[in-house]
Amino acid sequence: MKRSGIFIGLLLSFGASAQTQKALPSKAQPPKSLRLYVFDCGRLDIPDTSAYRLKKEELASSAMSAPCFLVAHPKGTLMWDTGPVADGTFQNGVGKLRYATTTKTLTSQLAQIGCKPSDITYLALSHFHWDHVGNANLFAGSIWLTPKAERDYMFMDPPSTRTEPENFSALKNAKTVYITTADYDVFGDKTVIIKAAPGHSPGHQVLYLKLAKFGPLVLSGDLYHYPEERQRGLVPTTEYNADQTVASRAVIEKFLKDTHAQFWIQHDMIGYEKLKKSPAYYE
């Protein structure tokens, strides 16, 4: 399998204290235990929050974060979501698309930890919407893990207006593994599990990580967008299937309670700002 290169950084959770670690040699071996890197892939300045059944004044922040994540495992690497703006569209150091703005390319952030897109073993997308697939084409050489329903919807004709097909077109010929179970164990040791959570899109999914020091963690995809949305049990008006979203939320909320896992709402700007970004990492 492919291997990611140098892994450097420090460990920090929401509000937890940091542990500084020394940089490893340039030809570092894969990590001995699971690691999670958080990349800054930009922000979304939401022009109208009414689709989330919330007024801007009801939100701590109406802006949304748009992170990308790299999971480094002793057996390989997994890229989870790829941001809103394709690296190749940057001009004067800034990337823009719709109401997204990005000041760092994903490629440059991978390079900081000695990685290239071609080094990544697996790609998984929480779903196909434009703000999660911006750099999907960079990982066309990786093994794409996806529900068939999601892939079919991505490549339907005419395409959905909620995405940018040119940013994932190369995946059409990528080596693809269809996820057919509610829980997909990526590395076979139950530390990285893709969990089905359809509703926001036909094959929407979330990611569970069992980190040795930080503890269990779930990355939300777009199961929720704002903490206030979760607190009030609000379902956006734009869901692919609102009933499925309600059912998926119930399943994941029960899972969080049973596992005592932390839950990161990927678009939660305030929560995201507290996270340490790559080359720091969680383990």
Number of H helices, E strands in the chain: 5, 17
Report residue 12's pLDDT band, with 50, 70 and 90 as the boundaries: very low
pLDDT in tens, 142-156: 999 999 999 999 999
Report residue 158's pLDDT band, with 50, 70 and 90 as the boundaries: very high
**Residue in the structure block whose two tokens are 């929720």:** 224
Average pLDDT over residues 193-204: 98
Residues pairing with 83 in the sheet: none
Q: What pLDDT does residue 38 have?
A: 98
pLDDT in tens, 221-263: 999 999 999 999 999 999 999 999 999 999 999 999 999 999 9
DSSP 199-234: TSSTT-EEEEEEETTTEEEEE-TTS-SSHHHHHHT-
Cα 77 versus chain centre, distance: 14
Residues 6+ away with beta carbon under 8 Å from 141: 117, 118, 174
Residues 6+ away with beta carbon under 8 Å from 180: 147, 148
Report CA-CA distances (Å) from 49 to 69, 234, 282. Answer: 25, 12, 32
Report residue 29's pLDDT band, with 50, 70 and 90 as the boundaries: low
pLDDT in tens, 207-220: 999 999 999 999 99
Amino acid identity, residue 147? P
Average pLDDT over residues 264-279: 98
Report CA-CA distances (Å) from 213 to 2, 16, 34, 35. Answer: 25, 11, 9, 10
CATH class of the 10-181+266-273 domain in this structure: alpha beta
pLDDT in tens, 37-64: 999 999 999 999 999 999 999 999 999 9
